[in-house]
Structure 1
């Protein structure tokens, strides 16, 4: 089928627009993150300064009244800055970040859809299109998850690696719109690769959450020190981060596993065998095993949560290894899914 170059150009423009919008969202989210550091400092100062009794002055500021045992009132002193002002400004920045990300998702999705119309096929025929789809999946998953106020500080931690992956894909993996090789001209392409992409997207979110969980355990609330302490201060509690990692992994395991099974069925129809220990399918299966090990460890008595987090991070590392090294370096039956 002839490629529609006009739609292909529109797809590239939509991707570039999405990238710019995400960059702006990243800057806004960083301002929000810094503002949240001020909010937390103000909350802690207020909690440390306010004794048993509080009075409100005529101008609305809070003062502390020190009262002795005989009922005499001592000198009233102002309490630390009211955190509500910082919170209001932080909420505005968080809302702007959320709106910008959703706008970026619209352009991101348009880039994927236009790429498909331009080539007359499902847009998952090469590594560039796979990266385009996976990053879109991550942004959608995390946008839904971060509607909870306590999880909003995760935005910079998600946007940064996604922008890096998108930039790397656009610079080094970009492939011109073209028909796929005969081996990919199958109805199994959208079924298998889409399922794998969705599973990988959710798995990436889970891995990032486990990484941040370990940072939060290392820099516990109220005990932050140094640069890493400043970075960790606005993060949710370790329990909240672990919950996000665990719930995401629960979804990743069956979805990613289904993708592997669908790939085996496609392999049987294309190559006459369900499994051949090809490097890519082997590492994908190993990734699934590691996710299963993570969930099993979480359900097994005696395992520390921080220990299971390392298993989840290993699963993320294996997935990234499969995405780049196996696709681009190792030769196998899936080599056509690499660079054009």
Structure 2
């Protein structure tokens, strides 16, 4: 947990020093100038203007495609995204901006995150060896594994070359908080499980739920950042202040564009949803083997199904009703809230056949 905390501070320094870089200082002014130029260009002339597409490298990995529309005789330049969706959307330069010091802190943060993940793996493995079973039989063990998957999802996206260094701070923050809660409130000594859990389905059913949790959190973080960036963009367009939290404008300008964040959240949720479906099916099969019935509307079963329904509604609304942006974002947040309640709320506050959390 301590290594994750150090990584969290390193990421915070990355964002702080990045605001002092030349790119970060000029980003707000350049965005305002681009908006003003776009508004000043006649629509007919804009349609006839020659377009040149350029792909540039983004800080922290990934690329950004820009379309430069030069209007002969007008002297104006309009910069829009090359996504083909008609939205002006250019990804920010990343947390570090153009600051070498901020980039150094970002690299240190990634190294510490990798080290923390390796130590996390060691802790989970040691717990498993101490009891000679899969190490996720209660809330303490599940939380330790969940912290690992939240960081693991971030590191996998980073290894795939995605521009997600901005996700580092939410990932290590969640891991540190989860491990802090696990060690201070949820900790239980190593012990064997109740007879119903002595099955190979423990390794299958619970492990897939843990993987889903880490991926769902990555999508949740992307959605939350999207909503913050989208609110900032609207307030900036209306000439309003930054909002109640007074977050510097340079922070938002270094984030990915709203279409990028929205698309990332949707893709992660769509990719993980089949695995969550399998998790519920595997749990039903295990329930039949342990208790003689596939489904009894136990609180854990009920809230797992509610979570599935809300995520299904989100994906269905995106695919058929064309929901994008804020409406879809709120639905995605509700789905993740259901997932969290299914784990913490049901296990701690509701009695049922899944009441083996080791708390109380």
CA contact (8 A) 2:24 2:98 kept: no
Out of 305, 318, 343, the residue aligned to residue 323 of structure 1 is 343
Whole-Å Cα distance in 2 between the matches of residues 42 and 304 of structure 1? 31
Q: Are residues 1:217 and 2:230 paired?
A: yes
Give the aligned partner of residue 55 of structure 1. Answer: none
Secondary structure at 2:137 match in 1: coil
After TM superposition, what 4+ stretches of structure 1 lie above 4 angstroms from structure 2?
45-50
Secondary structure at 1:245 match in 2: helix
Q: Name structure 2 gaps, 5 residues minimum.
A: 34-95
Q: Are residues 1:100 and 2:120 paired?
A: no
Out of 42, 45, 49, the residue aligned to residue 25 of structure 2 is 42
Give the aligned partner of residue 54 of structure 1. Answer: none
Whole-Å Cα distance in 2 between the matches of residues 88 and 200 of structure 1? 34
Give the greater-gyration-radius structure (CA).
1
Give the aligned partner of residue 268 of structure 1. Answer: 288
Q: Larger helix proportion, structure 1 or 2?
A: 1
Q: CA deviation at 1:49?
A: 12
Whole-Å Cα distance in 2 between the matches of residues 206 and 323 of structure 1? 17
Alpha carbon RMSD of aligned pairs, Å? Answer: 2.3
Whole-Å Cα distance in 1 between the matches of residues 231 and 30 of structure 2? 23
Give the aligned partner of residue 70 of structure 2. Answer: none
Structure 1's 250 and 149: CA in aligned 2 closer, same or farther, altered over 3 A? closer
Q: Name structure 1 gaps, 5 residues minimum.
A: 1-18, 51-83
Give the aligned partner of residue 185 of structure 1. Answer: 198
Note the alpha carbon deviations across 1:283-329, whole angstroms, 9 max, x for none: 01110111111111111235242101111100110111111110011
Note the alpha carbon deviations across 1:103-158, whole angstroms, 9 max, x for none: 10000000000000011111011110011111111110111223547321222222
Give the aligned partner of residue 102 of structure 2. Answer: 90
Taking structure 1 as the reference length, what is the TM-score of the superposition?
0.79
Give the aligned partner of residue 200 of structure 1. Answer: 213
Q: Are residues 1:28 and 2:10 paired?
A: yes
Give the aligned partner of residue 295 of structure 1. Answer: 315
Whole-Å Cα distance in 2 between the matches of residues 193 and 149 of structure 1? 28
Secondary structure at 1:335 match in 2: coil
Structure 1's 132 and 43: CA in aligned 2 closer, same or farther, altered over 3 A? same
